[in-house]
């Protein structure tokens, strides 16, 4: 498709409050009280995201309802050079939706979901949440895999990759994106799929919010009336942890999940003596028959869990545990990929992981391990902009500080723990709290970044969509 020049956004032409009012006037005319500025009632709530952190105050939050309204916001940002943020579920670890002194396109009113049982396709607007989609599809015994948290934006997770309870069985979320509707930087609305704008379709599947505002995603649905899933908890011991990781690595592709090494919160289902002690907590989801599930879980049960809630449940119940702690707290995370095939970390690595968690500052801290392989590895690395296809494990060192003052200690711990565990580039864009140029290179290794830049030059040559793990045109 043809390229179109858009003015750069590196500097704004707005130099006074009056000029800002003039610039926003056309938007106020279109959006009315859905254009929130710092003096509007409800602005503080609208300008908040899941994670807390240093103050970032937008000049306006535009609560859009359709593609025309989005195009109007993009037009103002393009003409004025005001930075632009895009907000859906608000769960981004780098808090990219919040742009200091800029305009936020808030997609939360565009949360429609349609489950087309005949076509086997779920259609969701760009502001829908993963949990709402999982529940709607689940009513028909159908599913598309996202992550583990219902409050995460469906497009936000899908654009970065999407690893979760069904990834080894059905692939990442990006592997189940059939097409998208996108508002481009110049305001045009285009379709991206295997036939129309295939370069954009490729880039959207891992390249994040770099290419436009996604207003609709079409997703492959699969029949999944029940799964066998739930939670295991063991006392943290290097032998147990290495055993748990080996069991996941050698399990059939029907088993997906994650393993957290962490200090046990005071959960009622855990024996009181485990509270405050290091534990290995696994969330697991098996999509095959009950008999196959029994066999797949046997090696994990043989390791003597303190807690075992694995049962046959409807898939949406996997999301019943909610989204982790209600936040507003500063967070940090570093992610990397380890091993290949059915490899699993050994006892020495497991001991280092437990030691790292015990050294964490006050707050919430974990080493999170997600088994790859299965359907994730069946896709060629060049087929999507998510290119980390051969690894055995995605490992994330992550935490929440107790308050803003604790953020730097948390950051130091994340860096030190990552280094001690070999968690370094390449990384997964959805779990990267930092966004330096090196982080972007880590997220898009090899030829992927070059190809993304080519697509960026075609669809967003002025880099209007810059508040993300930015692919510079």
Ligand X SMILES: Cc1cc2nc3c(=O)[nH]c(=O)nc-3n(C[C@H](O)[C@H](O)[C@H](O)COP(=O)(O)OP(=O)(O)OC[C@H]3O[C@@H](n4cnc5c(N)ncnc54)[C@H](O)[C@@H]3O)c2cc1C
Which residue ranges make up the site for ligand X (CB under 6 A)? 49-50, 85-93, 96-97, 107, 126, 147-149, 152-153, 155-157, 159-164, 208-209, 213-214, 323-324, 430, 467-468
Q: How far is CA 451 from CA 109, 125, 200, 384, 465, in A?
A: 33, 27, 11, 11, 17
Query: Taking the complex as a whole, how short is the minimal distance between the CB of residue 239 and ligand X, in angstroms?
Result: 27
Query: Taking the complex as a whole, how short is the minimal distance between the CB of residue 389 and ligand X, in angstroms?
Result: 15
Query: Taking the complex as a whole, how short is the minimal distance between the CB of residue 131 and ligand X, in angstroms?
Result: 11
Cβ-based nearer residue to ligand X, 159 or 356:
159
Chain centroid to CA 87: 13
Reading the block at residue 124, the tokens are 């969701």
For residue 293, what are the contacts with CB-CB under 8 A and spacing of at least 6?
228, 254, 286, 310, 312
For 171-184, b where at least 16 C-beta lie within 10 A, e where not — what string?
bbbbbbbbbbbbbb
Query: Taking the complex as a whole, how short is the minimal distance between the CB of residue 94 and ligand X, in angstroms?
Result: 8
Cβ-based nearer residue to ligand X, 242 or 465:
465
Cβ-based nearer residue to ligand X, 242 or 357:
357
Query: Taking the complex as a whole, how short is the minimal distance between the CB of residue 79 and ligand X, in angstroms?
Result: 20
Reading the block at residue 182, the tokens are 């996108």
Query: Taking the complex as a whole, how short is the minimal distance between the CB of residue 102 and ligand X, in angstroms?
Result: 11
Cβ-based nearer residue to ligand X, 172 or 224:
172
Cβ-based nearer residue to ligand X, 238 or 371:
371
Cβ-based nearer residue to ligand X, 238 or 373:
373
């Amino acid at each position: 498709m043809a390229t179109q020049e858009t003015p750069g956004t590196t500097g704004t032409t707005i130099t006074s409050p009056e000029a800002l009012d003039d610039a926003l006037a056309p938007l106020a005319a279109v959006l009315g009280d859905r254009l929130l500025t710092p003096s509007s009632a409800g602005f503080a709530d609208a300008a908040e995201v899941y994670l807390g952190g240093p103050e970032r105050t937008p000049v306006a939050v535009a609560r859009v309802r359709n593609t025309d309204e989005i195009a109007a916001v993009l037009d103002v940002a393009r003409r004025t050079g005001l930075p632009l943020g895009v907000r859906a579920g608000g769960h981004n670890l780098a808090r990219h939706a919040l742009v200091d002194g800029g305009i936020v396109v808030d997609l939360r009113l565009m949360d429609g979901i349609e489950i087309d049982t005949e076509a086997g396709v779920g259609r969701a607007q760009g502001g829908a949440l993963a949990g709402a989609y999982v529940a709607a599809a689940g009513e028909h015994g159908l599913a598309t895999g996202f992550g583990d948290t219902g409050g995460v934006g469906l497009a936000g997770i899908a654009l970065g990759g999407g690893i979760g309870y069904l990834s080894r069985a059905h692939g990442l979320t990006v592997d189940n994106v059939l097409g998208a509707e996108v508002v481009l930087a110049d305001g045009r609305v285009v379709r991206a799929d295997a036939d129309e704008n295939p370069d954009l379709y490729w880039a959207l599947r891992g390249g994040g919010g770099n290419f436009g505002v996604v207003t609709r995603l079409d997703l492959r649905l699969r029949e999944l009336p029940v799964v066998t899933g739930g939670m295991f908890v063991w006392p943290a011991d290097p032998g147990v942890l290495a055993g748990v990781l080996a069991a996941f690595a050698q399990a059939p592709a029907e088993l997906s999940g994650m393993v957290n090494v962490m200090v046990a919160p005071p959960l009622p289902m855990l024996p009181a003596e485990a509270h405050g002690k290091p534990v290995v907590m696994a969330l697991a989801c098996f999509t095959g028959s009950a008999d196959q599930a029994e066999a797949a879980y046997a090696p994990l049960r043989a390791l003597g869990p303190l807690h075992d809630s694995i049962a046959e449940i409807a898939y949406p119940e996997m999301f019943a545990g909610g989204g982790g702690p209600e936040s507003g707290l500063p967070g940090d995370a570093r992610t990397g990929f380890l091993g290949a095939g059915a490899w699993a970390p050994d006892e020495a690595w497991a001991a280092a992981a437990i030691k790292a968690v015990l050294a964490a500052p006050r707050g919430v801290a974990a080493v999170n391990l997600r088994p790859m392989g299965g359907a994730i590895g069946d896709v060629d690395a060049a087929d999507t902009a998510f290119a980390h296809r051969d690894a055995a494990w995605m490992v994330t060192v992550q935490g929440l500080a107790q308050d803003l003052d604790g953020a730097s200690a948390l950051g130091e711990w994340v860096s030190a723990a990552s280094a001690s565990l070999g968690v370094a580039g390449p990384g997964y864009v959805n779990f990267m709290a930092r966004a330096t140029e090196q982080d972007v290179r880590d997220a898009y290794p090899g030829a992927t970044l070059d190809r993304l830049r080519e697509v960026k030059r075609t669809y967003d040559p002025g880099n209007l969509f810059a508040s993300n793990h930015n692919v510079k045109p």
